Amino acid sequence: MRLVVLPGDGIGPEITAATLAVLRRADEVFSLGLSFEEQEVGLARLARDGSTCPPSVLEAARAADGVVLGPVSHNDYPPRDKGGINVSGELRIQLDLYANIRPSRSRPGLPHFGRTPMDLVIVRENTEGFYSDRNMHWGVGEFMPTPDLALSVRKITAQGSSRIARAAFELARRRPRKKVTAVHKANVIKVSEALFLREVRAVAAEYPDIAYDEQLVDSMAALLVRDAQRYDVIVTTNMFGDILSDEASELSGSLGLAGSINHSDRYGMAQAQHGSAPDIAGQDKANPTSLILSAAMLLDWHARRAPGRDAFARAAAAIERTADALVTDPARRTGDLGGALGTRAFAEAFCQALQA
C-alpha cells in the first residue's frame, strides 16, 4: 500500500509525524508493505512554489493507494487566483471523495458529555450541498448582485444522494444494529431535500434487512445530546453532516478523538476531523489521536476493496484497541484530555503498546 502524506499547516506536521510513526509500527507488526511519499502542501508550499496545492500533488494522490492529509489553515490562504487552494476541498473535488465517514463513540473511563453513551457513524455527502466551492462547474456558488445582497446556491443531485445513501446502508449492514437514519430539513427546504429523501428512500427499499427512519436536522442536534444511543448510522447532506459530526464527536469525549475518512469508489483519504490549531503549533501539545484513527480507517477501507488484505483490517482494529487503551488511561493521555503527555511522547507510548 503506497500512501501519499501531506502534513499540512499548524499542528499538521506534528500529528502527521506521530501518525506515520504508528503506521510504521503497524507495518512492522502486521507486515503490510507500506510505503510513503511525502509532499508539502499549504502555506509552506505556497511560499516555495506559489500554490498551496500544485498539480503535482493531485498527480501523486491519483497514483497512490491512499492519502494521509494533515489539517490545513485554508482560512489564512490568499484567493485561489493567487495560489490559495483549499487542499482538503480540492482533493475531495478532484478525487470525487463523495463519502465522508465520521464515527463517534464514547469510551468507558473517558468522560463524555451527552446524557447517554453513543456508538454511531455519520455518513456525510462530501461533494455538493451548501459548500460553495464544490457545487458549480466553474467558479463558486456564492455571488453578490449588489454590495448589500449576497446569494448562495445549494446543489443536490439524484446521483449524489443515491450513492451516499448506498454507502450508509452498506456500512449499516456491517454493524450489529443495522439501522440508518436520514437527516434532512424537508419541512422548510422543500425541493432539494425532497430530492435527497426520494433517493435515500429508494435505496432503503433495496435493503429490507436494515431498519430505516428519518429525522429533522434541528431535532437531531438536540437528540444527540439527549438520546444518542438510539442512533446507529446517520446519512445526511454536506453541511448538516459537517455540523452534526463535530457535535457528536465532542459529545462522545473530544473532537481530538474523532477519526474521519473521505472516499470514492477508487480513492481514500484519511483526515483528522479537527482543524490546524496554529495557536499551539510547534509546542508538542497537539493530540494526534484523530489522525491516527483516521489512518486506521484508511487501512480498513483498503482491506475491504479486495480479497486477501486481512492484515490491513487486523492492523486497523489493533490501532483502534490501542487508542482506546491509551485515552482511557489518565497516565497516558495528552494534555487536552487532562494527561501529561505531549505529541511525541504519546506517539511513542502508542507504538510501544501496539501489538497484534
Q: Which of 218, 227, 265, 310 is catalytic?
A: 218
- Take residue 187 and report the three cell numbers written for it: 419541512
Angle between helices 310-327 and 343-353 (to 10 degrees): 120
Q: Is 246 marked active-site? A: yes
Q: Which of 77, 98, 131, 212 is catalytic?
A: 131
Give CA separation, 11 vs 18, 274, 277, in Å.
11, 11, 6
Angle between helices 310-327 and 12-30 (to 10 degrees): 120
Cα–Cα–Cα angle for 108, 122, 38, nearest 5°?
90
Element (H, E) at 180: strand 179-184
Contact 32, 315 (CB under 8 A): yes
Task: List, in order, residues 6 or more apart from 32 with CB less than 8 Å away.
Answer: 1, 26, 299, 311, 312, 315
With cell 463558486, the residue in question is 140
Residue 125 DSSP one-character state: E
Q: Is 284 marked active-site? A: no
Give CA separation, 210 vs 3, 19, 171, 195, in Å.
34, 35, 10, 21
Q: Is 231 marked active-site? A: no
Contact 116, 228 (CB under 8 A): yes
One-letter amino acid of 75: N
Which residues pair with residue 233 across a beta bridge?
Answer: 121, 180
Q: Is 185 marked active-site? A: yes
d(CA 156, CA 173): 25
Q: Which of 65, 76, 96, 185 is catalytic?
A: 185
d(CA 251, CA 114): 5
Contact 214, 197 (CB under 8 A): yes
Is 91 in a helix, a strand, or coil? helix
d(CA 192, CA 120): 26
Q: Is 98 marked active-site? A: no
Q: Which of 9, 212, 231, 242 is catalytic?
A: 242
Q: Which of 65, 119, 133, 246 is catalytic?
A: 246
Catalytic site positions? 131, 185, 218, 242, 246
